[in-house]
Amino acid sequence: MNDQTIQMIAQAIIANTKVIQSLIDALPRETVEKVAEVVAPQKVGRKAEVQAEVQAPTPAPTSAPEPEPTPVAAPVMPPPPTFEVKPAEPVSDAPFKNSKELVDYVMTVYREMGPRGQKIQEVLIGLGHKNINDFRPEQYGAVYAAIEAIRK
């Protein structure tokens, strides 16, 4: 290890120590006192000694250059779990369950309404489609309700 690597590790340790100290300071006083009874406290002077050692590391012997440390790969987080969800059957009060039945229904109503049957196209456009075949099964209830509303 070279001096730069050692200093970097020491600085990381000091930063972690500060974080831990701030977490300890945030604990309730009773908790700190209970832990202090169980754990022997460190000497206060040791912190200053560690900081002095970090700031002035001893030089490494100059015999042979040490190889660069091999970087350690960060742990890879596993992919999130997936859940297979079966889509719910569309709930509809429409008397048709597929595209063919929808077309048959619309044509029957169109013939019954005569000239007023042209309003069906306006209903379809109002529901977001120009072509009756573009409607999905989950939309059949809305189509049925809208057509029945103009049928009367």
pLDDT digits (tens, 9 = 90+) for 100-116: 999 999 999 999 999 88
Please report whether residue 107 resides in a domain: yes
Residue 77 lies in a domain: no
* pLDDT (tens digit per residue) in 127-141: 999 898 999 999 999
Question: Could you say which residues of the chain have pLDDT below 50?
Answer: 44
What's the whole-number average pLDDT of the chain? 79
Q: What's the predicted TM-score (pTM) here?
A: 0.41
* Structural domain count, the chain: 2
* Domain membership flag for residue 78: no
Nearest alpha carbon to residue 106 among 146, 79, 70:
146
89 three-class SS: coil
pLDDT of res. 68 = 77
Instruction: Note down the domain range covering 106.
Output: 99-151
Q: Is 88 inside a domain boundary?
A: no
Measured CA to CA, the distance from residue 141 to residue 135 in angstroms comes to: 11
pLDDT at 58: 56
Q: Long-range contact list for 6-13, CB < 8 A, 24+ apart?
A: 6/57, 7/54, 7/57, 10/53, 10/54, 10/57, 11/54, 13/54
Residue 131 resides in a domain: yes
Contact at 8 Å (CB) between 103 and 132? yes
Domain membership flag for residue 79: no
